[in-house]
Amino acid sequence: MSGLFDPILNWRLLPGSHVFPGPDGGTCINEAAVVAAGLPYRAIRSSADCPPCFSGPLAAYALGLNDAMPDAERPRLMAFVLRLAGSADSEAVEAARTAYLVREGVRRLLPPVLERAGLPQHAAACRAAPDLERAVTVVRHAAWSAGSLAEAAGCQGTWVRGARAAAAARAALFAGEIDARTAADAAEAAALFWPGAWAEAVAILDEALRIGRQAPLLAPDEAVMRLEAAKLARRERATA
C-alpha cells in the first residue's frame, strides 16, 4: 500500500495530530483514513475523535502504534488507511477485538522481553495463555516478578539486568490492562528491548481487523485521489 501512496503524494504518517496535510505531506493514521474514506477532515487526538464508523478499539490501537513507532517503522501502518472507516461493529464484537489485542499482546509481545529479562518461565506461561482471563493473570504475575528482579538488580549494581527487568515489568503492567490503547503502550514498552515488537504488533492489528465487520472495499486509486484533492484544497485555502 505504501507504494501507492508515497510516490504519488509524498505521503508520510506522522506522530500526533496535524492540520491536514502536515507540513511534509502527512497526518496520523486515523486522519489519513478519515480523508481516504471521503469524510471531512478532522483532527484526531484520541480514538474518541474518530467518526462513529471507526471501530473504537482498532482506532485506539492503531493511533497508539502510530504515535509510538519510530519513523522507520511507521510506514507499516499505511496498509490500514483503507481498513478503518466502516469497521465499527456491535458492542460484543468490539469487546472481542479488545480481548484479541490484549491476549495476543501478552502471548506474542511479552515473551521475548521476559526471556531477555531472565524470566523464561513467565515467558512460557504468557505464550501458553489460552484466553483473556488467563493471559491477564499470568502477565500480572510476570509484572510483579520482573519488578522484584529489577529492584534486586539495582541493589546489586547489575544495571543492564536491572534495565531489562524494569522494561519487562513496564511492558507487562501495560499488557495486563484490558484496554486497546494500553495494549499499544505494551508494544511500545516491549520494543525498547525487542525491535521485532513493532512488526508483531502490526500483525496483531491486522488480525483484529478481520474480526467482525470489514471496511467497505475502496480502490486505492480512489483513496489517493481523495487525499490529493484534500491536499490541493488545503493549499488553495492557504494561498487565498
pTM for the structure as a whole: 0.85
- Statement: residue 233 has pLDDT above 70: no
Residues 58-79 have pLDDT tens digits of: 999 999 999 999 988 988 888 8
100 Cβ contact list (under 8 Å, min separation 6): 204, 207, 208, 211
Please state the rounded mean pLDDT for residues 29-33.
Answer: 82
% of the chain exceeding 70 in pLDDT: 78
pLDDT in tens, 167-215: 899 999 999 999 999 999 999 999 988 889 999 999 999 999 999 998 7
